[in-house]
Amino acid sequence: MPQEVKVGSELQGRYVISRHIGDGGFGIVWQATDKKLGRDVAIKRMKSLGGGELETLLAEAQKIKTLRGHKNIVEMYETFEEEGEGFLVMEYVDGKSLQDIFQGHVRARTWLDPEESLDYLKQLLDGLQFAHSHAIFHRDIKPSNILVSKVGVVKIVDFGLAKTMVAAASEHSGITGFGARTGTLLFMSPEAAKGKTPDHRTDIFSAGLVGYILLTGRHPFLHQSGAFAVHDLILEGGFECEPISHLQHKNLSETASRLITSMLTKDREQRCQSIQRVHQELTRDPGRPCPQCGSSNRGTAQFCDQCGSSLTIAAISPPRPGQFISAQAYTDEGFALTRDDDWEQAIEKYRAAIKVDKTYARAYANLGFALNKLGRNEDAIQACTEGLAVAAAAQEQHRLYDARGFAKSRSKDYEGAIGDFSAAIKLSPNNPKPLQHRAESYALMGEYKLAYQDAGNALRLDSDFTPAYRLIQRLESQGLA
C-alpha cells in the first residue's frame, strides 16, 4: 500500500515534510527539511507506475544529477524508492514559476519590464546551453517548468523527465507518440506534436516560444481572429510567426530578433541549431570593449575608461610563412575574432598565445572571459587560476579575479566567487562591475543586506548601471533590503 505523505511525515529517516507545494503533471511536490544537512529541499513523489517504468524513471533522474553546478538549473540531489514509489529530492527554490508570473501580469493587465524579460530569457538560454553541452535535453520547456527565485534567478526544473514519464505512461496505456500525453500543446514543437523523437532542437523551439512571450506579452502562434487554436497553428505549415520588431523591444538587436524567429522555424532542419548562438547575441556588450584590459566603454569612447588604452584595433596582417608570432599578436587576433562572435577560434588563439609565452597574463584573462561566454565554467576557472599565478599588473589581476568569480558564481560556489570579487574590487575600487557581481553572489547565498549594500555602491559609481538598479528594486519589493 502506498505510503501516506503529509505535513510532518518523515522519509528515509532524514526528510521531514513541511508543506505541500503543488501537483505537477507527473507527481506531487512537497517542501521538506533535510535534517542531515540543515537545508530546505523539494521532494517530488512520482505518480504510480509499474515496476519497470519506475526503474527507468529513477535511472533517468540519476543522469540529471550530472547537471549539478549551474545556478540556472534546479539541482537533483538524490533519488530513492520507498514502498514501491519513486521520490526525487531536488533543490528548493523560494519563488514562483514563470507561469505564475505571467498569470499575475495578465490579471493586472501589465507585463514584465523589458530589461527583466530579457534577463529571464538570457538565464533560460544559459541553463539550456549548459545542459546541451552535457548532451542532456529537457524536451518539455514551458513556463511552469521555469522557476524564478525571489532575487530573480531563473531555475529550470524537470530535465528529461517528461520524455521518460510519457514513454512509460504510453507503454502502460497503449498510447504512442510523445505529444499524445504531455498536455503542453501551447509549448510543443511541431515534431513532438507529430510524435517524432524530440532532440535539442525541440528545446530550442519551446525556448523560443517562451522567449517570444517574455519579450512581447503574446504567444507567437496566437492569431487575433481566434479562428485556429494555438496548437493547430504550430502545426500549420503555411503560418509563420511575426518577427519581434525593434519597436516592441528596444533592447533587442535586429540580429537577436532574427535568431529568436529562427528558433521558431517549424522545420527543425531549417531551425536555429544552437542555443549558444542566440545566447551570445543576447549577451553581446553594446559598449566598446578595450582590447587591452577588456573593460566595456561607451560606444563613442576612443580610449578606455579603465586603463586609458586606445579602443581602436589596428588591422592585423597575416603572418608570413615561418614568421614568429608573438603572444600579443595571437591575443590581438583572438580579440578581433570575438568581435565576429567566433569564440571558439578566439580561444584557440589565446591558447596559442599562452603556448608562446606562459607569463602573458592578458591571454589568460581573455581566455577566461571567452570560456565564460561559452558556459565552460570549469575551464574558465582553471585558465584564470593559471593566469593569476603569473599576473603581475593590477589590471590583469583584476580581470582574472572577476572572470574566475563569475565562473564560480555560475557554478554555485558563491563563497569562492565572493572571495574573488572582493579581490577584484580591492584592485579596482572604482569599477562597478565586480561590486554588482559580488552583490548577486551575496543575494544567491541569502545575504540580502550585503547584496543591497554592494548594489547601492555600484550605483553610486555609475548611476546608469541597470543590473544594480534592478537588483535593488527586487530586494526592496520582496522586503529583503
Tell me which residues are annotated as active site: 140
- 346 forms bridges with which residues in the sheet? none
Task: Please calculate the CA angle 130-78-376 and round it to the nearest 5 degrees.
Answer: 15
Contact between residue 143 and residue 97 where contact means Cβ atoms under 8 Å apart:
yes
Rounded Cα gap, residues 292 and 295, in angstroms = 8
Quote the crossing angle between the two packed helices 161-173 and 51-64, to the nearest 10°: 170
- At residue 199, what are phi and psi to the nearest 5 degrees? -145, -160
- 73 forms bridges with which residues in the sheet? 156
Contact between residue 167 and residue 57 where contact means Cβ atoms under 8 Å apart:
no
Beta strands in 274-381 (DSSP E): 288-289, 296-297
Residue pointed to by grid coordinates 517548468: 145
Rounded Cα gap, residues 437 and 417, in angstroms = 9
Residue 206: other Cβ atoms inside 10 A: 26
Task: Please calculate the CA angle 194-199-205 and round it to the nearest 5 degrees.
Answer: 70
Residue 22 cell numbers, joined: 503543488
Rounded Cα gap, residues 387 and 365, in angstroms = 7
- At residue 73, what are phi and psi to the nearest 5 degrees? -130, 130
Rounded Cα gap, residues 439 and 452, in angstroms = 7
Amino acid at position 262, single letter:
S
